[in-house]
Amino acid sequence: GQQLNQSPQSMFIQEGEDVSMNCTSSSIFNTWLWYKQDPGEGPVLLIALYKAGELTSNGRLTAQFGITRKDSFLNISASIPSDVGIYFCAGPSNTGNQFYFGTGTSLTVIP
Amino acid sequence: DTEVTQTPKHLVMGMTNKKSLKCEQHMGHRAMYWYKQKAKKPPELMFVYSYEKLSINESVPSRFSPECPNSSLLNLHLHALQPEDSALYLCASSQDSVRGRTGNTIYFGEGSWLTVV
């Protein structure tokens, strides 16, 4: 299946710091999705991007759809303890209902 | 709050038991999914139903049997599972299966934690 690579794999940051993570693919996507998953819960959609170059915000979160359509970025400003979790990027296949997921970025916020 | 509802939240079953996981969505979505997820790993696709028909089976062992009674419901029947099947099972839904459709977004339920003993 399609491989989506996320980096960094994990991050340990101080509360109040900004966070950046990215997701890259070997082929183009028409949609990029970003999810946060808390331990023991299902992934929750944070931001959906539908157009190359699009920049979308959701509170302290900002995500961008790369102009090559092969990458996407997620930024979190002024991190807080409840930002802790695993962040996944995802994108749908062009051939039907299959969504590919990134390898995940684990975020730890130190108070 | 998620609009995809999964039950039960937790399930412990023996290797000879038969149990089922249930999922329901009322967003009018026509595609529904089962994923399996191990700790700190991305979700792994198991099955996709599109317009109530099984469209993708990712070579899942026959001890997992999906069922889609109608467009809002999705079940996963479990029988003779192995301890390595212990995982978080996620149900999800999306609008439809139009090829190359821009704007297709997948929504997850809270998951069912399965422990096989």
Q: How far apart are CA A78 and CA A28, in angstroms?
A: 31
B111, A41 Cβ separation under 8 angstroms: yes
Residue of B nearest to A101 (CA): B42
- From A2's Cα to the closest Cα of chain B, the distance in A is 12
pLDDT of residue B99: 45
Residues of A in contact with B33 (CB under 8 A): 97, 99
Residue in this structure with the two tokens 């962040």, named with its chain if needed: A87
Q: How much is the average pLDDT of B10-33?
A: 94
Residue of A nearest to B98 (CA): A96
Q: How confident is the model at residue B100 (pLDDT cuts 50, 70, 90)?
A: very low
Q: Is the pLDDT of residue B24 over 60?
A: yes
pLDDT of residue B58: 87
Say if B48 is an interface residue toward chain A (CB within 8 Å).
yes
Kindly report the average pLDDT of chain B as a whole number. 91
Q: Is the pLDDT of residue B22 over 80?
A: yes
> Quick one: CA torsion of A23, A27, A29, A35, rounded to 10 degrees?
-30
pLDDT of residue B2: 60
Say if B94 is an interface residue toward chain A (CB within 8 Å).
yes
Digit-coded pLDDT (tens) for A14-60: 999 999 999 999 989 989 999 999 988 999 999 999 999 999 999 99
pLDDT of residue A95: 66
Taking an 8 Å cut-off on Cβ atoms, the answer to whether B108 and A95 are in contact is no
Q: How much is the average pLDDT of A94-98?
A: 70
- The amino acid at residue B100 is G
- The amino acid at residue A35 is Y
pLDDT of residue B102: 56
Q: How much is the average pLDDT of B25-34?
A: 92
Complete DSSP assignment for B52-83:
TEEEEE-S--TTEEEEEEETTEEEEEEES--G
Helix (H) or strand (E) holding A71: strand A71-76
Q: How far apart are CA B114 and CA B20, in angstroms?
A: 11
Instruction: Give the contacts of B39 (CB within 8 A, at least 6 positions apart).
Output: none
Digit-coded pLDDT (tens) for B38-67: 998 999 999 999 999 998 888 899 999 999
Q: How much is the average pLDDT of B81-92?
A: 96
Residues of B in contact with A69 (CB under 8 A): none
Q: How much is the average pLDDT of B11-18?
A: 94
* CB burial of residue A95 (10 Å; 0-12, 13-18, 19+): exposed
Cis? peptide before A8, omega within 30° of 0:
yes
